[in-house]
Amino acid sequence: MKILVAVKRVIDYNVQIRVKEDGSGVHTDNVKMSTNPPDDNAVEETVKLKESGKVKEIVAISIGEDKAQESIRKALAVGADKGIHVKADSYIEPLGIAKILKKIVEKEKPDMVFLGKQAIDDDCNQTGQMLGSMLNWPQATFSSKLNIKEKSLEVVREIDEGLETLEINLPAIVTCDLRLNEPRFASLPNIMKAKKKPMELLNAKDMGVDLKNRIEQLKVEEPPKRKAGIKVTSVAELVSKLKNEAKVI
Amino acid sequence: MARETMEYDVVIVGAGPAGLTTAIKLKQLDPNLNVCILEKGAEVGAHILSGNVFETKALDELIPNWKNEGAPVKTKVSKEKFLFLGKNSSLSWPTWLLPSVQKNHKNYIISLANLCRWLAEHAEKLGVEIFPGFPASEVLYNDDGSVKGVATLDMGLDKEGNKKDTYQEGMELHAKVTVFSEGCRGHLGKQLIKKFNLDEGKNPQQYGIGLKEIWEVSEEQHQEGLVMHTAGWPLDSKTYGGSFIYHAENRQIYLGYVIGLDYQNPYLSPFDEFQRFKTHPSIRKMFEGGKRISFGARALIEGGIQSLPKMYMPRALLIGCDAGTLNMPKIKGSHTAMKSGLVAAEAIVENIKNKTDLSIYEKKFKESWAYKELYTARNVKPSFSWGLILGIIFTGIDQILFRGRMPFTLKHKHADHEALKPASQMPKIEYPKPDGKLTFDKTSSVYLTGTNHAENQPVHLRLKDPNLPINYTLKEYDEPAQRYCPVGVYEIQKEKFVINSQNCIHCKTCDIKEPSQNITWVAPEGGGGPKYGNM
């Protein structure tokens, strides 16, 4: 079996985001970037499947500027076999990303596509679902446990009500939750070896898909500052305040 | 079982200005050398914090056409000011009366973190392998006692040191020569100085803590290229320190405060002195209405040549502030650190090719312009142990009349951790409450550093005696760790000493100032610590 796993380079989750004064976006110059955390879980799961002998090949793909290759190299360092970098110099919406991924799927013919459940920069949570729909493949989103079978996949999903277990046929789309696993560290020798693994270079412009963005971004602004809290002396007071002042119960 | 091993010609510990300079120079001299750099930060620059008014002398030697290569060295100093502050007053000191070491008209206002990122790209193009997120945690020795290399930290251990699922054993990096460039109070450098008695016959090293914020201010408040320093309030005349205010590009001001760690009062809090400083009427107006966008802190070297240890040992070198090459009166260390890196590279190439003894590194450094300027600067810092006024008078005579060539050398008498007086003998200091606009608390400040350490890993701030903080330091000194730590790592809660090590920003102040030297800073799991942007 062969898996395609998609990774995105985003602002590191520890960095305090700074909104540009003109509201056009956030500052990214000299800001620490890293792989989107749920994408790390996706990569880790594919490597585990490979280690268990159920998967033969892992192809890691990233779409974005040249430095997106850092995220691919990281995936290669923990166990992916081959990388594909689709160069794109400007922002592409999930729809465009899904279209590019579809083209890659048609070429690479994987049995499964793994993605993070969503990216922590735009929080869209759309790419996996759109790709599933375009390919007409079954999908399991927010997966926190996987069991691979002969021609199907048993997946436990994290949903609002608790956990849901699905069985879906292959080929399939899986989007990964943070609880799926704990990503491993890349070792120094493996980082060195990753530099020699093959990386195919493509350009988004040459993929033959319509990448026009459909959404107009009006403004980016900081969330309102949290106000100082108060201390209450009794449960009765708390309930009364929730009811009468906050009006939430 | 033996750990996995990688062999290099040269292994460099720390991707700061000194280490990166060594790596680049090595490859310029001999492209065939295998050179790697280990860096504990998650990326190059993440742990770099500095003023910084930059003198380009060493960069000119390393990369002469740096201007055309896009070095982030752009804002030329256009104007200088020096203020003496009283509680509500300020006296502007004429710049023609400043010693020439404090004149900056040829220098640039830069972000050292960004310069390091640029140097790292340059180094990688030359074939240097840089591994961010991999702290060197252990020095390895050959049978003959010489340095063999370093080992990286085991990763994936839990709090008690048990292996987690993600456990990964550290690995050994062996080298013909290992270069230690960890910056001020490097935790391996400290071990080497002790093991090889490198500080024998030298004065105890002197340190300071530097705190820095970056502010975005209005057009009217900003004057690109302006460099300003202050002395005096809020510090008393016995405490060595002062501020820097540098107007960088994009309406940003780099604002910082440096306090000598030889201060005596255990109630002093460097962080709160810095915050209080901003409330001075002549400072407040520069920042009012502006926005603080970054915060950080880092210890720095103040000892000069009296405290400079021997810089070489069998098959290893100490460079930059891992040895201690900062020029205190000049308030600059990047150019001297880089110069030590340049001569280190020359010495290493000669050592590998001709088996020349590594001692030529120190010889070359002592013949360089960097050592000459450290020599003339040597008496300034110790003279301030007589107090601010005498220090200024002496420095005027020493630096302006004699240009640092007085026929004697003043000594540093005590190590910084010996300087604290018992709490009972010193006045308590009441610091004003932060207003959240101009002045801030430690919690909101640490948030801006982006620091993080993965949960459930061994605590990297080790106590030699876990009972000492409560049984002794609290009683005798009112546990000053609560105050000297700029991000509140140490707290006393219900008669318990709590270490919030996840907040640590790797400034090393605790390792230096703890009165009984009870706290040892060791490298945490790779990638931990601050995520500084343009510091």
Nearest by CB to residue B131, choosing from A15, A18, A191, is A191
Pairing state between β A139-148 and A152-159: antiparallel
Q: Is the torsion defined by CA of B178, B181, B186, B189 positive or negative?
A: positive
Rg (CA), chain A: 21
Residue % of chain B over a pLDDT of 70: 100
Domain boundaries, chain A: 2-222
Which range of A228-242, B186-200, B404-418 scores highest in mean pLDDT? It is: B186-200
Which ranges constitute the DSSP H helices of A52-88?
69-78
- Residue B58: per-residue pLDDT: 98
Give dist(CA B105, CA B8) in Å, integer. Answer: 42
- Residue B385: per-residue pLDDT: 86
Contacts of B462 (CB under 8 A, 6+ apart): B519, B520, B521, B522
Contacts 24+ apart (CB under 8 A), A24-29: A24/A220, A25/A217, A25/A220, A26/A220, A29/B533, A29/B534
> Are B450 and A16 within 8 A, CB to CB?
yes
Of B91 and B190, the structure prediction assigns the larger pLDDT to B190
Distance from the Cα of A92 to chain B's closest Cα (Å) equals: 26
Question: Low-confidence residues of chain A, pLDDT below 70?
Answer: none
CA atoms within 13 A on the CB side of A209: 20
Count of residues for chain A? 249
Residue-wise pLDDT for B163-181, tens only, equals 998 899 999 999 999 999 9
Nearest to B298 by CA among B487, B75, B17: B487
Q: What is the mean pLDDT of chain B?
A: 95
Residue % of chain B over a pLDDT of 90: 88
CB atoms under 10 Å from CB of A211, counted, come to: 16
Contacts of B486 (CB under 8 A, 6+ apart): B209, B211, B270, B271, B297, B442, B445, B505, B507, B509
- Which residue of A lies nearest to B113 if distances are taken between CA atoms? A30
> B37 touching A, CB under 8 A?
no
Cα–Cα distance list, B510 to B236, B419, B460, B521 (Å): 22, 14, 12, 8
Residues from chain A contacting residue B114 (CB–CB below 8 Å): 30
Domain boundaries, chain B: 5-66+113-202+309-377, 380-410
Give dist(CA A185, CA A47) in Å, integer. Answer: 12
Where do we find the tokens 């990503």? A183
Residue-wise pLDDT for B334-393, tens only, equals 999 999 999 999 999 999 999 999 999 999 999 999 999 999 999 998 998 888 888 888
Nearest by CB to residue B166, choosing from A18, A32, A184, is A184
Contacts of A114 (CB under 8 A, 6+ apart): A3, A4, A5, A6, A42, A43, A45, A46, A174, A175, A176
Residues from chain B contacting residue A43 (CB–CB below 8 Å): none
CA atoms within 13 A on the CB side of B386: 13
Gap between the terminal Cα atoms of chain A:
52
Give dist(CA B345, CA B19) in Å, integer. Answer: 10
Contacts of B189 (CB under 8 A, 6+ apart): B180, B182, B318, B322, B323
Residues from chain A contacting residue B451 (CB–CB below 8 Å): 14
Structure tokens at A11: 């602002």
Nearest to A141 by CA among A99, A153, A94: A153
Question: What is the topology classification, in CATH, of domain B5-66+113-202+309-377?
Answer: FAD/NAD(P)-binding domain (3.50.50)
Q: Between A69-78 and A37-51, two packed helices, what is the crossing angle to 10 degrees? A: 30
Residue-wise pLDDT for B424-437, tens only, equals 999 999 999 999 99
Distance from the Cα of A110 to chain B's closest Cα (Å) equals: 28
Can you point out the beta strands (E) in B233-384? 241-247, 252-260, 291-301, 312-313, 316-318
In the DSSP assignment, the letter for residue A66 is G
Structure tokens at A119: 């990216």
- Which residue of B lies nearest to A27 if distances are taken between CA atoms? B533
- Which residue of B lies nearest to A195 if distances are taken between CA atoms? B129
CB atoms under 10 Å from CB of B393, counted, come to: 12
Give dist(CA A238, CA A85) in Å, integer. Answer: 54
Give dist(CA B458, CA B455) in Å, integer. Answer: 9
> Are A30 and B534 within 8 A, CB to CB?
yes
> Are B171 and A187 within 8 A, CB to CB?
yes
Pairing state between β A172-176 and A139-148: parallel
Residue B24 has pLDDT above 90, yes or no: yes
The answer to whether residues B366 and B45 touch, using CB atoms and an 8 Å cutoff, is: no
Give dist(CA B433, CA B439) in Å, integer. Answer: 8
Q: Between residues 30 and 59 of chain A, which touch chain B (CB distance below 8 Å)?
A: 30-32, 34
In the DSSP assignment, the letter for residue A67 is G
CA atoms within 13 A on the CB side of A237: 5
The answer to whether residues A113 and A45 touch, using CB atoms and an 8 Å cutoff, is: no
> Are B450 and A184 within 8 A, CB to CB?
no
> B156 touching A, CB under 8 A?
yes
- Residue B1: per-residue pLDDT: 60
What DSSP string describes B54-118? E--HHHHHH-TTTTTTT-S--EE--EEEEEEE-SS-EEEPPGGGS-GGG--TT-EE--HHHHHHH
Q: What is the CATH number of domain A2-222?
A: 3.40.50.620
Q: Between B359-367 and B334-354, two packed helices, what is the crossing angle to 10 degrees? A: 140
Which residues is B147 bridged to in the sheet?
A: B141
- Residue B96: per-residue pLDDT: 75
> Are A31 and B43 within 8 A, CB to CB?
no
Residue-wise pLDDT for B50-106, tens only, equals 999 999 999 999 999 999 999 999 999 999 999 999 998 888 888 777 777 778 889
- Quote the distance between the C-alpha of residue A123 and its chain's center: 9
Give dist(CA B9, CA B27) in Å, integer. Answer: 11
